[in-house]
Structure 1
Amino acid sequence: MMAKQMVSADAARGVEQIKFPKRKQKGMKRVKQENELIKNHLSPLPQQGQTSSVVTCIESSQPQEALHAKQCTEPINLSTKKRSHKRNGQEKIFHWSGTNQKMSDSHMENLMFAAVDRIIHSLEDIAHNRASQIPVKILSRLITQLDRRMKAAVMDFILEDIKKRHHLAFAWIFQEYSVYLNQYPLGSLQDYEECLISLLLGLQAKPDHKDKFFSRLVLEAPVVTDGVLEVIKRCCEDETTAYLGMSTFRDLIFSRPARRFQYLHVLLDLCCGEKVMVRRQAVMFVKMMHEKDHLQEYIEKFALNYLQLLVLPVAPSVLFVADEDIEVAAPWTEETVKQCLSLYLALLPQNHKLIHELACVYASAVSDVQYIVLHILQQPIREMGLNSPEISLLMENCPKGAETLVKHCLYILSNKGFYSSRRSKRMCSNRHQGRDKVKLPIHEDQTKLISYQPAYTTKQ
């Protein structure tokens, strides 16, 4: 009822459209034709999905018709000026000549260096993330195509924090080796070797080696070249990093059987080196590996070769000269004798049969060497113990000239405790048969030995 009253009073919305429907349609038809000709001068149409209201405010249609007539008569000016991009109040004009201008080599190198630096630092967060291996692989592939200066920058970046960036280091090594395989047989391992050696030298200089990245890098490398082997050997010769290098060689011996004897030979050479601490460390590692059956023969043969050097009248040059072609004559000293005997005496408690070869070499050596051998023989003989059957066998078959050695062995054992009754009876039977040429030392507490040999022992 209210709506009807408002319409009758011309106060409702939309009354104007109801009164003049034909004039409105004529005006809309005219606007539609103008829309096809001049699109930029009309207001935008409503978007799809929107509906326009047919109800408008009450206003006169005469001004609207005048507006449409004015829009039709207004000329259209098409501007041919280019739009200018203003920045900070200044126009920035694009110059095509600047894009093809030739840059100097130094400028290009600096730009490339800055780009690589941004890339490696942007990947710092994902370089240690195993779940994101694709960016690391792409970056490592990019590094293989850089020059040495940029590779050095990447190397410094990795060594700054090897714990977080070691995945990038391993990926880089494998990419260098992959490049070599793609160019095989014309390819070279020089870039691969330089990369691996640089990483090893950087890790060797680190004060803390508890992370064992040095050994991991060598063990997981596709190939251990001669240059890499030389780096590990120099690491062993340094007293501060000797354990790190020797433990790496030990792992290589057990993990790479194809070249195990080559790695083992390097450790055996260190057992006969000049540095005392390095020699002791190497002997400790070789003793551990001597327990393996497939390595015992090779180790004992090497130790025997150095033992037989003691029969020479002078010390050979191999003990103190790296070049084998240089012959240098020098008298035997305690240090050079220890270089030849350290490994052999360390193996003696593990294989008592080696005592017989030692007695034969002792009998043929010069007097200076014999004196030094007796001086350093105490510890291995004590470790062999009183009940060693090989010592008893040596007493029965004592080589000519080695009587003093056998007597000294018995003297060392007598200081440790009583002789066993079996050995004492054997010595008595040897004396009766005239085969025992060794006079035994007697001490105050050796009553049991005296009871077995009342007539064949003398005091010294």
Structure 2
Amino acid sequence: MDHDQQVIQLRDFDQQILSQPEDALSFATKSFLETLIDLINYGLEKQDDGTDAYKEELKNVKNATKAFAIVLPTVYKTICQNEAETRLWSLCQSLMTLVETKLLENGNAGIQINAIKCLQVLVLLLSKSSLKDISLNLTRADHGLLNIQQLEKKGQDLFEKIIGMLKSDNESVITATVSCLTVIGKKRHQFIKQISSSFTSWRKTRSKEDSPVMLRNVDKALKLGFVSLIRTEGLSAYRSEMITAFGSIGGNVAMFQSRQRGGDESRRSKRTHQETDRAHAEKKVKTEYVPIIPSSTSPNILANYDITQIPLNSIVNLCMTVLQTVPLEVMSERVSLLPAEGVTLAVTRKEFVRSTTPPYPPPPEQPQYNTNQLFKTEDAIDSDEEMENTLMKAPKILPLMQPYELNEQKELNSVEKKKLLEMTIKRILYAEQSIQKITNNEMHVLHHTKNRWLLLVAKLVTRGLFIENESMDKQELKNLLLDFVVEDLLNRHDLALEWLYEEYLFDRQQLELNPEYSPGYFYWFHKLLEKGIPTLDVKDKILTKILLEAPEVNEETIEFIKNNLKNVPERFVSCVSTLRSLVINRPTIRFIALQVLLDLCINENDQIRQTSIMAVKKWNDNQTQVNSRVEQFAISSLKQLTDKEILTWEEKDVVKHAQLYFVLCTRRPSLLKELFSVYIEATEIVQKYIRLHMIKMIKAIGMKSTDLNKLIREFPPGGETLVIRILVILCDSKPPTKEIVSAVQAISVLAEERSIDLKNLSPILSGHSLQSNK
């Protein structure tokens, strides 16, 4: 998802959820948390240039922080209920780190305020409560992801960070901090003493240079905070201490003393009235009785209703419902109570009055006309006598309810059992189609239902809850699931991940019980890759998502990617991107994935080699080990050019071994000293190709490089032709800098001693480019 799509997703969240935070479940997903991380990082990387574009990105950062605070309780609850949500918890931790570091320490007051409010939510979640809300109380002691002690300590640390924001020099930040601490104090009573102490000591920590207006406004906010806490019913045990603290910062203590006396009297009076009313009500219940007398004069609402106008299908449905629900014994008993002459039709009664309501039209599946005498229309019946005659001539109808017996139960054989189980499992799997039909207005229901369904299927398949050994084993069951997932891996990768997590957790549990247990996780993971990768479009990122979110990956997993990029050329770019993501995000196989990329950097194919070099040339500052590995590989590859056993080096081979090194030198010119070492030991033909193909690198480094100037001055013996070539490339079309002129002057002193021909470089000494002398 690109940046614009992420911004649109955030706006959709604002429109749908801000007014109804209880519907946040539909956004409590891994993809939405990834969006929030990307938007925050993207906005923080922008420089303040005063443009509207920068202000818009700043707004996105604030809204993303606010969105995280809203979905956080739902995400936390999901993780508490499902230990398999490893990726969701990892993303949640990444956002928590962003908030408490980069956002809380940001220079923008608006970003800081949103960060403080987010930390407030975190403190409430990661601390125990006596209330029935979403908090640390939800977490089980044996939870696989969440450690109660560590979370509680984290909550305490974040609480202290919020208190630390009272030292800010920005009035808005301080008042926001006071407001958040007040909310925390109301819901988490264990923090009351720290909050009260921080409020009363705030003035003592301020400088004399603080604005009087700011001091006055913050004092007012502190007093209002104390008032709110003192009036909180649940904090009555701390009321006297807080009133004293309130008075120490200049608050009017008398308002609480008079209020407390009046409040006590009011509560006593109210309690007395409630007890009196309750006693009166109980007495009234015991003594009063209002009998319900049915009215004999109430009219029969069905008296004038023409039952012949009821649609036929409604009557049939009613009859079938009665027949299916009423026991046979009851039906027989009621039939025996009917009069011998039968049932007189309602239309033959004297009191019958025809309804003026037009008759219902026949249902669409019924014919408009019926020639059967029993079903003549009203117009076709001449008289009541004719109708009675028709009924008398009708054939005798046998009773509907006949005694019957169930067929003798047949024992199913193993083949039939297996077939029935397969049908049952497939129905469960394809229930996904029913979930997908839920409308957009019920997205939160869809997400919740789908998660439940995924977890149910994953547990069922992994543990084989009802599978009997003689009919279907777990292996066959998992093959059914595997085929179902591979059928549409693009839309069913979430199910695949749920299944993999269940396999992984099940293996761990079994190994604890039996050390000789043979785990099956990697077998099914590799089967999924083997069957699933060929079904994906070459541009799909689902493979990367599965590999990043899977519980564990190993060296064989990397082999699947390696073989895929070799055997399917059109997947090469996506596979390289996947390998790079694994290097960054999966420490256990980081260097295995990196080695595959590095090997591609010396590939015979120019396009493959250049694409791979682009993937490995740049890493973040915190990935120093990766950078070091890449540089060591590049230098090692370059040193192969000194191999004396190879008598004739072709130009393409020199380029293949030197290209990665040249690219790295443009980023870190100090690596150039290795080039001189190799150049001196190499054959003349290799030296020639080095001088020919280093033009782009030297121009990219440029004359202003301190490392390059130092090498020109102090190059080792044997590198004379290399130095002259470097100078020619630098000064061919541009006049030299003072540093280059000085370096050439230093070389001139050694010209005779080291047999350096500087005739062609004379324009440099006079400050001109070499072309100006032609």
Scaled to the shorter chain, the TM-score interval is 0.5 to 0.7
After TM superposition, list the pairs within 5 Å mapping 1:105-116 onto structure 2. Answer: 107-116=416-425
Alignment of 1:5-404 (within 5 A): 43=337, 83-85=403-405, 94-96=407-409, 98-99=410-411, 102-104=413-415, 107-126=416-435, 129-132=446-449, 133-144=451-462, 145=464, 148=475, 150-184=477-511, 185-189=515-519, 191-206=520-535, 208=537, 210-237=539-566, 238-289=568-619, 292=622, 294-295=624-625, 296-314=627-645, 331-404=648-721
The letter of the residue matching 1:94 is N
Check 1:40–1:118 CA distance in 2 against 1; reply closer, same or farther (3 A cut): closer
**Equivalent residue for 2:360?**
none
In structure 2, distance between residues paired with 1:159 and 1:356: 53
In 1, the alpha carbon distance for the partners of 2:544 and 2:709 equals: 46
1:412 corresponds to which letter in structure 2? I
Please tell me whether the aligned partners of residues 691 and 725 of structure 2 are also in contact (alpha carbons under 8 angstroms).
yes
Q: How big is the shift at 1:217? A: 0.6
Deviations 1:104-128, CA, capped at 9 Å, x for gaps: 5xx5544433332222113333389
% identity of equivalent residues: 26
User: Residues of 2 paired with 1:262 and 1:399: CA distance?
Assistant: 37
Matched residue, 2:468: none
Query: Could you tell me whether the CA contact under 8 Å between 2:493 and 2:546 is conserved in 1?
Result: no
Superposed CA RMSD:
3.3
SS in 2 for 1:131: helix
Distance in 2, Cα, partners of 1:342 & 1:121: 52
Aligned to 2:202: none
In structure 2, relative to structure 1, the CA distance for the partners of 1:387 and 1:40 (3 Å cut) is: closer
Given that 2:601 and 2:660 are in contact with CA atoms closer than 8 Å, whether structure 1 keeps it comes out as yes
Range moving further from structure 2, 387-396 or 108-117: 108-117
CA distance in 2, matches of 1:160, 1:183: 30
1:441 offset after TM fit, Å?
7.2
Query: 1:205 aligns to what SS in structure 2?
Result: helix
- Contact in 2 for aligned 1:127/1:164 (Cα 8 Å): no
> Where do residues 414-453 of structure 1 align in structure 2 (5 Å cutoff)?
414-434=731-751, 437-440=755-758, 442=760, 447=763, 449=764, 451=766
Q: Retained in 2: the 8 A contact 1:193–1:227?
A: no
Aligned residue pair count: 351
Q: Deviations over 1:126-181 (max 9, x none)?
A: 38943023332221223234555554443333233334423211111111112211
Offset, 1:243: 2.5
CA distance in 1, matches of 2:436, 2:526: 21
Q: Say if 1:127 and 1:168, in contact at 8 Å, map to a contact too.
A: no
TM-score by length of 2: 0.41
- Tell me if structure 1 keeps the 8 A contact 2:576–2:615: yes
For the structure 1 residues 418 and 426, does the alpha-carbon distance in structure 2 shift closer, same or farther, using more than 3 Å as the test? same
Structure showing greater radius of gyration is: 1
The CA deviation at 1:259 is 4.5
Specify the code of the residue in structure 1 equivalent to 2:428.
I
Alignment-mate amino acid for residue 301 of structure 1? Q
Match of 2:728 in 1: 411
Instruction: Return the offset for 1:312.
Output: 0.8
The answer (yes or no) to whether the contact 1:239–1:277 under 8 Å persists in 2 is no
Q: Which amino acid aligns with 1:135?
A: W
**Alpha-carbon contact 1:290-1:299 (below 8 Å) kept:** no
Shift of 1:240: 1.9
* Distance change in 2, residues 1:42/1:301 (3 Å): closer
| CA displacement at 1:392 relative to structure 2 | 2.5
Cα pair distance change 1:40/1:234, threshold 3 Å: closer
* Partner AA of 1:95 in structure 2: E
Pair 281,201 (structure 1): closer, same or farther in 2 beyond 3 Å: farther
Alignment-derived partner of residue 48 in structure 1:
none
Q: Following TM superposition, by how much is the alpha carbon of 1:278 offset from its aligned partner in structure 2, in angstroms?
A: 2.2
Cα 1:343/1:40, change in 2 over 3 Å: closer
The answer to which structure has the higher helix fraction is 2
What amino acid is aligned across from residue 248 of structure 1 in structure 2?
T
Change (3 A) 1:439 1:418: farther
1:201 Cα deviation (Å)?
4.1
Instruction: Specify whether residues 293 and 439 from structure 1 end up closer, same or farther in structure 2 by C-alpha distance, changes over 3 A only.
Output: farther
Output the CA distance in 1 between the equivalents of 2:554 and 2:589.
Answer: 11
> Could you give the per-residue CA deviations for residues 242-293 of structure 1, whole angstroms, max 9, x where no partner exists?
2222222222232234543343333222222333322212211111227556
Q: What is the CA–CA distance in structure 1 between the aligned matches of 2:653 and 2:702, rounded to whole Å?
A: 27
1:222 partner SS: coil
Distance 1:102 1:271, change over 3 A: same
Task: State the distance in 2 between where 1:429 and 1:227 align.
Answer: 57
Equivalent residues of 2:565, 2:571 under 8 A apart: yes
Question: 1:437 and 1:391, CA in 2 relative to 1: closer, same or farther beyond 3 A?
Answer: farther
Distance 1:182 1:112 in 2: 27
Partner Cα separation in structure 2 for residue 41 and residue 154 of structure 1: 54
How far the C-alpha of 1:436 sits from its partner, in A, is: 6.2
Q: Could you tell me how far apart the structure 1 residues matched to 2:665 and 2:644 are?
A: 25
> Unaligned regions of 5+ residues in structure 2, if any?
1-332, 339-401, 438-445, 465-472
Q: CA deviation at 1:351?
A: 1.0
> How far, CA to CA, are the matches of 2:496 and 2:413 in structure 1?
35
What amino acid is the match of 1:204?
Answer: I
Distance 2:434 2:490 in 1: 12
The answer to whether the Cα contact below 8 Å between 1:430 and 1:436 also exists between their aligned partners in 2 is no
Change (3 A) 1:157 1:42: closer
Cα distance in structure 2, aligned partners of 1:116 and 1:41: 46
In structure 2, distance between residues paired with 1:382 and 1:226: 40
TM-score by length of 1: 0.67
Q: Please tell me whether the aligned partners of residues 159 and 203 of structure 1 are also in contact (alpha carbons under 8 angstroms).
A: yes
Counterpart CA distance in 2 for 1:202 and 1:313 is 47
For 2:664 and 2:618, the matched residues in 1 are separated by: 10
**Matched residues in 1 for 2:459 and 2:559: separation?**
27
Contact 1:428–1:452 (CA<8 Å) still a contact in 2?
A: no
Per the TM alignment, residue 309 of structure 1 is displaced from its structure 2 partner at its CA by 1.4
Report deviation, 1:208. 3.3
Note the alpha carbon deviations across 1:22-73, whole angstroms, 9 max, x for none: xxxxxxxxxxxxxxxxx899749xxxxxxxxxxxxxxxxxxxxxxxxxxxxx
Match of 1:68 in 2: none
